[in-house]
Structure 1
Amino acid sequence: MSSTPATPRWNVQRPPGADGRVFLVTGGNAGIGYFVAEQLSATGATVVLGSRNPARAEVATASIRARVSGARVRAVRLDLADLSSLRKAVESLEREVERLDAVVHNAGVALDDPPRQETGDGHELMFGTNHLGHFALTHRLMPLLSAAPAARVVTMGSFAAKSERLDLEDLQSRRDYQPKRTYGRSKLAQMYFGVELDRRLRAAGSTVASVVVHPGGALDSLTPSRPPVHVRSTGARLGAAPAALLVQGKHAGAWPAVRAVLDPAVSGGQLWGPRVFGLRGEPRREPVWKHLADPGVAEQLWDASCDLTGVDLSTISG
């Protein structure tokens, strides 16, 4: 009597191979994005770092190559705060690859203090970069994603978004700007986009899936050194030791995104985050937050994003 083999338990230290596949990580030159890129490079895939700073991207690629034998990693200049530059960035990528098996929408801006800042397009900087930039980039990348057998759009949200709610009448925070709240709302907008994108992809019969993830609590002081990309001092490591009971480093914050890219058991429309209280530990699927599952808000945000970017994502073809 035969039985179907059990699905292997996910091992964050040994993800499955992805030789021949191509992944783009926005903001892959630093922070969580760097570790997403490093971990994906270890699978044998070609990993492209999207970065607005070519010098920092070169440092990051050198670091990955030094740690991952035979790493296939390269960089493309990508500035999500400049919507007019995205066409050129994607055209550059199209000259290098025939398809894209996944994009990790990771890049982001987080401001701690006033004053309110704007992109060159006149959008509030965090909302414009974190959400609108990725919204427009997805439109540009869709031909490359559709050329892959089963591509994934993985959107990196934030645990900070769980306690936020969008103000659809003030998406640009013009009336009441509070940096931390504006950041949380920009990440919430990203997450709404990821959920709504998958709904529209399914309705269109597309082979592309959209997954939303968040890193939990990820601190620099708990992140292993990757000089010169990131250097953790002994003092910082010792001082952060108590926090390790509740949160983790950025290398572990990368795990949900890496799993969302690679695990065949992950499906579109899902939300993945750390196992322990959503703050630390190995990645697991969690219920989509109640406010994030509101299709009315998602649709209004989608329409507003089309208007603000000039991108027509009102229809998605399969």
Structure 2
Amino acid sequence: MTIVLGAIMRTALVTGGNAGIGYFIAEHLAAAGLEVVLGSRSAARGRAAAGAIRARVPGARVACVPLDLADLSSLTTSVAAVPADHLDVVVLNAGVLLADPIRRETAAGHELTFATNHLGHFALVALLWPRLAKARIVTQGSFTARSATLDLGDLQSTRSYDPKRAYERSKLAQLLFAFELARRLEAAGSGAAGLAVHPGGALDALTPSRPPVHVRTTAQALRAVPAGLVLQGKHAGARPAVHAALDPSVRNGQLWGPRFFGLRGRPRLERAKGPLADAETAARLWAASAELTGVDPGFVTAPA
């Protein structure tokens, strides 16, 4: 589904572009002719992903920057390392899903899943803003966000912690941020666009090999055949984000996901409903996120 662009070089930053769905988003964007910057917590994994993209995409221009979204104090340094005066696309893709039932905190005292998946991206957009005047800012959510509820009085899961629920809430927070950003951009008459996507059901076992980033054995592929009737690989899960980033028909505030039951297939436009359509909660989350991170994209005017 790669959309090939014209001769003008454009630049994209993909957080978590060193692995999983983020890697395939980066590979697709490189194949479309963009210069791609991989934001990666691990320098070694970033270099490996860049090498894998160059092996697949002749002439690909790929750079890596250190990016640890859980460490808010490091983000200014990460932003300074991005080798571009302006960005045309930012894909907020990086995330963690923890299995440990013990609640963990960042150095700043924030619950780790919420801090990495949402707060880090919120702060990153604020710090990058001078370079995003006409950018498409694509936020990667999750199908699981539809069934989540956000407790504004306990965003850090201090009263009750479950790793799966913390992940679902963090992905809902990301999507609410995307829609609130879109509303504020529209109110400000900005040339930038806030977009939301989700990958559906994406499994490693259905994902083609990209050594050394990902290696799938024949046995794994065969065992995954039945799941392929309903789900898809991470290479396919990347398609909604790539579509939102590149397709000229995409508009500010849209939500894109897989075509078939929201789980697999080519991208389709979806309607935000249920908790995703709660504009009041989104505005309150924005204010809470600004307080927790100490930065605020306040230059994006809020609706009256």
For 1:289 and 1:69, locate their aligned partners in 2 and report how far apart those are by CA, in whole Å: 42
Q: Is 1:301 the equivalent of 2:285?
A: yes
C-alpha contact 2:148 2:168 (8 A) present in aligned 1: yes
Q: Is 1:157 the equivalent of 2:157?
A: no
SS at match of 1:123: coil
User: What is the Cα-based RMSD across aligned positions, in Å?
Assistant: 1.2
Q: Which AA in structure 2 matches 1:83?
A: L
Name the counterpart of 1:236. 220
1:43-54, aligned counterparts within 5 Å? Answer: 43-54=32-43
| Change in CA separation of 1:317 and 1:291 when aligned onto 2, cut-off 3 Å | closer
Q: Is 1:191 the equivalent of 2:175?
A: yes
1:60-71, aligned counterparts within 5 Å? Answer: 60-71=49-60
Name the counterpart of 2:256. 272
Q: In the TM superposition, what is the alpha-carbon distance from 1:290 to its structure 2 partner?
A: 2.4
C-alpha contact 2:4 2:33 (8 A) present in aligned 1: no
Per the normalisation by structure 1, the TM-score is: 0.93
For 2:298 and 2:31, locate their aligned partners in 1 and report how far apart those are by CA, in whole Å: 37
C-alpha contact 1:38 1:68 (8 A) present in aligned 2: yes
Q: Is 1:99 the equivalent of 2:83?
A: no
Name the counterpart of 1:137. 124
For 2:270 and 2:202, locate their aligned partners in 1 and report how far apart those are by CA, in whole Å: 18
Name the counterpart of 1:17. 5
Per the normalisation by structure 2, the TM-score is: 0.97
Q: In the TM superposition, what is the alpha-carbon distance from 1:215 to its structure 2 partner?
A: 0.1
For 1:312 and 1:218, locate their aligned partners in 2 and report how far apart those are by CA, in whole Å: 33
- Aligned partner (choices 74, 77, 99) of residue 63 of structure 2: 74
For 2:275 and 2:25, locate their aligned partners in 1 and report how far apart those are by CA, in whole Å: 27
SS at match of 2:132: helix
Q: Is 1:169 the equivalent of 2:169?
A: no
- Aligned partner (choices 82, 88, 105) of residue 77 of structure 2: 88
Percent identity of paired positions between Structure 1 and Structure 2? 61
For 1:279 and 1:312, locate their aligned partners in 2 and report how far apart those are by CA, in whole Å: 34
C-alpha contact 1:212 1:271 (8 A) present in aligned 2: yes
Q: Is 1:180 the equivalent of 2:164?
A: yes
SS at match of 1:225: coil
Structure 1, unmatched stretches of 5+, are 1-11
C-alpha contact 2:137 2:195 (8 A) present in aligned 1: yes
Name the counterpart of 1:128. 115
Consecutive aligned runs of 4 or more in structure 1 exceeding 3 Å deviation: none
For 1:181 and 1:75, locate their aligned partners in 2 and report how far apart those are by CA, in whole Å: 32
SS at match of 2:91: strand
Name the counterpart of 1:9. none
SS at match of 1:193: helix
For 2:24 and 2:152, locate their aligned partners in 1 and report how far apart those are by CA, in whole Å: 33
C-alpha contact 2:118 2:173 (8 A) present in aligned 1: yes
SS at match of 1:104: strand
Structure 2, unmatched stretches of 5+, are none
Q: In the TM superposition, what is the alpha-carbon distance from 1:198 to its structure 2 partner?
A: 0.7
Q: In the TM superposition, what is the alpha-carbon distance from 1:113 to its structure 2 partner?
A: 2.7
Name the counterpart of 1:7. none
**What is the aligned residue count?**
301
C-alpha contact 2:69 2:116 (8 A) present in aligned 1: yes
Q: In the TM superposition, what is the alpha-carbon distance from 1:317 to its structure 2 partner?
A: 6.0
Name the counterpart of 1:224. 208
SS at match of 1:212: strand
